[in-house]
Amino acid sequence: MAADKQMNYTLVEGWISICGNILLFFLKLWAGMVTGSVALTADAYHTLTDSISSAIVIFSSWLSSKPADDKHPFGHGRSDLVCSVIIGVLLVLIGVEFLIKSVEQISSGTRVDYGTIAVVVMVVSIVTKEMMAQFAFWGARKTGNPILKADGWHHRSDSLSSVLILFGIFCSAYIEWVDGLLGILVSLMIFYAAWEIFKESVGRLLGEAPDRRLIERVDAIVDELGMDGQTHHFHLHRYGDHVELTFHLLMDPDISLKKAHDCAEAIETELRERLQIEATIHMEPDETKKEKMT
């Protein structure tokens, strides 16, 4: 049920992004051609790549919703993270293109006459893209899907770049190289957005340590069940909404294998029901208890 809800949010956000970005692309491209602004034209293609990233959002949603199979026993949930990295790479490429074009604009010393057309287009872009970003962030909070957050940052970077360009429009009468300067600032913002995406998605792909709160909840469940054992050596593996947790549990070395197995199974059941986590417990004899008895 959770996977279906996540897929629905992602599909809706993806299609809204595609349609909105295509319309904004043509609007910005037209304004860039009319005014001769490098920043406006580059921003138009930046918006077009948002449509590509949204198409990736839809594809990853479909792929991650596929059930587990023999080749993918934990499902396809990590496709979200892979696609988030792809979006991050797209942002880097866009940032580099922005940077190059902006330096060329400054070197040329050409003044851009924006006019009322550019102002109206930028205001429309700012409002539209920020609304799309907020919708994506809202969906990410609802579903915990990192690719929605990545797409939201993509929208936000486009919205902020439009804010800078709008600011530059009002300064263009006093600073002839403002178009190139704004392009450089926008590229730095895009690089930052890419970094935020890489930091979260790549970290989860490489593997992450469980946070302290999760470990405390596991220890609380162990104590509630009356298990006189110490937990340690935790490893967490996320596959979309499927979470695998492994850890070691120190137990009395003199209890039977059957009793140790029953204790571990009881803990695994509680973790599954309360935290929606599939746990695998490695049972270890607590030699310190044996030494105290002797």
60 with 124, same domain: the answer is yes
231-239: strand order across its sheet:
231-239, 242-251, 277-285
Q: What is the pLDDT of residues 217-275, one digit of tens each?
A: 888 888 887 776 688 888 777 765 667 788 888 887 888 888 888 888 888 888 888 88
193 with 223, same domain: the answer is no
183 with 270, same domain: the answer is no
43 with 91, same domain: the answer is yes
Mean pLDDT of the chain: 77
Look at the chain and report how many structural domains it folds into. Answer: 2
- pLDDT of 160 higher than 60: yes
Q: Residue 242's pLDDT is what?
A: 67
224 with 202, same domain: the answer is no
CATH number for the domain that contains residue 284: 3.30.70.1350
The least confident of 50-54, 57-61, 132-136, 227-231 is 57-61
In residues, how long is the chain? 294
- pLDDT of 292 higher than 60: no
Question: How many other CB atoms sit within 10 Å of the CB of residue 212?
Answer: 8
The least confident of 12-26, 83-97, 130-144 is 83-97
197 with 216, same domain: the answer is no
The greatest distance separating any two alpha carbons of the chain, rounded to the nearest whole angstrom, comes to 90
Full-model pTM: 0.58
CATH number for the domain that contains residue 59: 1.20.1510.10
Q: What is the pLDDT of residues 117-143, one digit of tens each?
A: 888 998 999 999 899 889 888 888 877
The boundaries of the domain holding residue 67 are 2-206
Name the 3-class secondary structure at 256: coil
Torsion of CA 151, 153, 159, 163, to 10 degrees: -170
Mean pLDDT of 132-160: 80
Q: Residue 1's pLDDT is what?
A: 41
